[in-house]
Amino acid sequence: MSTEIFKKRVYGCAIIKSLNANYNADFTKQPRTLPNGNVYATDKALKYTIRHFLYKNYAPNPDEKDLSKDKVLYFTRYKSNTEKGQYVPMSLRELYEHLFGTLEKINKGEGKNPKWMLYYFDGTKVTGKLQKIKPSDLKKYYQEIDDFPYAKKIEEAAKNANEKLKLTADGVIESVPISGETESFYFYVKGEKEIIKIEIEEDEEDIIESVVSDLDLQFFGGYNKIKILYNLLNCIDVRLFGATYTGDTNVSIHGPVQINHGVDRFVYNGSIQNLSYTEQIKSPVRNDKAKGGEAEMTTIGSSSKTMEAHYVHNFSINPKNLDDHLVIANQLSKPENKEKEKYPEQVGLINADVVKLQEALRCGATLYDSTSKAGVENELLIWVELNEGSKQVLPNFTELISVTREEVSGKVEVNLTKVNELLSQKHIASHIEKVDIFYNPAYTLPKGIKEECKVHFKQIELEEIKKEENEKSNII
């Protein structure tokens, strides 16, 4: 795919069809509804299908440690603890470090010979975790905080730790052997050789790690926001939608792709209606925590769906949204930076990114198939690409579109008359390079717009998908 910079503005909408399915549920598991009762879906629902498509089709294996720019940041991954037989979703920091390694820091106090107060032994080698802090400074800092876990133990380390010891690059403290230890632990060295372990409560490894990290940040520096920004721009979902990285530090990126809430535009019996329903489902098992007569019965659950809805998500693309962020990130690529070879210049949104986005808007919802999402499909995509350099803006397409079902054929008719009127205006038409309308003619009929020099009708399924379907039909 092309690595050329994408410079054009794009406007359009994606229509998602939901037949006896629940495209986007609220916290009560009902389809989301507006105050007027009509169903809608958040922008996050469509973004999730896009990220899912990108993750499943383009994201590299992080273990390969390659330089791919198709990493996907905001997608649920899990970390496991085999000893406890548990797994939990990763935090944002853990996702970042899963993709890029340890969060980059600016350490003001660490020189060639840092004076370590607190160490960490991982079972094989020792690393310095916290440099020497004056007990008076530490006490003053604690007074400003209501609750600081492990405060007393860290104060003891500040008072008693021998900071004159040398830690080698091989992870060994000279003259302080650690033998017979296989478990990991935090510790400090008292006197010449006495190892004092920091006793940690069960399941609190993350807490002590957070405490040490906070102290390190407070007394010895901060995180390198420029390097974090640079790395985030190596994620395709960040280059598309932007990002807000909060917690250890704050990095905010304004993404080029903006997606609106999807609103149902299906006209049923003369008006747009809420066609949601709830059905009860019998489970084959009983609830072993139930009491009385219910303890002897199998359980009954419920499932809510929409009989039919056609969600119209308006979207726009403005590549210039990344310009300010690129100026900052590319400071790392300047000749005067000693590490410039590690940081090739960031260019922002490229043609390949936009091709992948368009693919996801064509079939991402269809690809994401689950019990509640079976029946949710990408139905139609309007892609209006402006001439390079055009500053023209277009209004939201959502209210310009209505959807009905043809009585005889049963096909879905998408009325684009008002869209056609908008795009045909001279002051707008002169700025348009092309209009692509993706749909499947076997199920969908776009009405009110004709194929002309700038308007092109195309199949919504990808060529690879159509090829697979043809091969399956030949086998049958």
Residue 376 has which token pair? Answer: 């949710």
Mean pLDDT of 447-461: 90
pLDDT confidence of residue 470: 44
Q: Which residue has the higher pLDDT, 147 or 254?
A: 254
pLDDT confidence of residue 226: 93
pLDDT confidence of residue 407: 87
Nearest residue to 128 (alpha-carbon basis) of 97, 95, 157:
157
pLDDT confidence of residue 296: 63
Residue 52 has pLDDT above 90, yes or no: yes
pLDDT confidence of residue 417: 96
Which of 227-241, 307-321, 335-349 bottoms out in mean pLDDT, i.e. has the lowest?
335-349
Mean pLDDT of 156-180: 86
Convert the pLDDT of each residue in 322-335 to its tens digit.
Answer: 999 999 999 999 99
Q: In this structure, are residues 360 and 14 in contact, taking their beta carbons and an 8 Å threshold?
A: no
pLDDT confidence of residue 420: 96
Residue 121 has pLDDT above 70, yes or no: yes
Q: In this structure, are residues 240 and 54 in contact, taking their beta carbons and an 8 Å threshold?
A: no
Q: In this structure, are residues 446 and 416 in contact, taking their beta carbons and an 8 Å threshold?
A: yes
Residue 396 has which token pair? Answer: 């939201």
Q: In this structure, are residues 48 and 75 in contact, taking their beta carbons and an 8 Å threshold?
A: no
Q: Give percent of the chain with pLDDT exceeding 70.
A: 90
How far apart, in whole angstroms, are the C-alpha atoms of residue 235 and residue 348? 11
Convert the pLDDT of each residue in 127-159 to its tens digit.
Answer: 888 889 998 888 888 776 556 678 888 889 999
Average pLDDT, the chain: 87
Residue 268 has pLDDT above 50, yes or no: yes
Q: In this structure, are residues 153 and 198 in contact, taking their beta carbons and an 8 Å threshold?
A: yes
Q: In this structure, are residues 329 and 30 in contact, taking their beta carbons and an 8 Å threshold?
A: no
Pairing status of strand 10-21 against strand 298-317: antiparallel
Convert the pLDDT of each residue in 368-398 to its tens digit.
Answer: 876 657 889 999 999 999 999 999 999 999 9
pLDDT confidence of residue 350: 96
Which of 59-63, 220-224, 441-445 has maximum average pLDDT? 441-445
Q: Give percent of the chain with pLDDT exceeding 90.
A: 54
Ordered alpha helix ranges (H), 225-376: 225-232, 236-241, 323-329, 351-367
pLDDT confidence of residue 301: 73
Where do we find the tokens 């975790």? 129
- pLDDT confidence tier of residue 63, bands split at 50, 70 and 90: low
Q: Which residue has the higher pLDDT, 105 or 117?
A: 117
Convert the pLDDT of each residue in 3-48 to its tens digit.
Answer: 799 999 999 999 999 999 999 999 888 999 999 999 999 999 999 9
Residues with Cβ < 8 Å from 338, sequence gap 6 or more?
Answer: none
- pLDDT confidence tier of residue 105, bands split at 50, 70 and 90: confident
Which of 75-89, 103-117, 171-185, 406-420 bottoms out in mean pLDDT, i.e. has the lowest?
103-117
How far apart, in whole angstroms, are the C-alpha atoms of residue 437 and residue 401? 14
Residue 351 has pLDDT above 50, yes or no: yes
Q: Which residue has the higher pLDDT, 427 or 293?
A: 427
Beta-ladder partners of 278? 304
Q: Which residue has the higher pLDDT, 124 or 309?
A: 309
C-beta neighbour count of 457 within 10 angstroms: 14
- CA dist 320 to 3, 138, 313, Å? 17, 46, 22
Residue 189 has pLDDT above 50, yes or no: yes
- Going through 326-428 in order, the beta strands assigned E by DSSP cover 376-386, 402-405, 412-415
Residue 170 has which token pair? Answer: 């091989």
Q: In this structure, are residues 358 and 383 in contact, taking their beta carbons and an 8 Å threshold?
A: yes
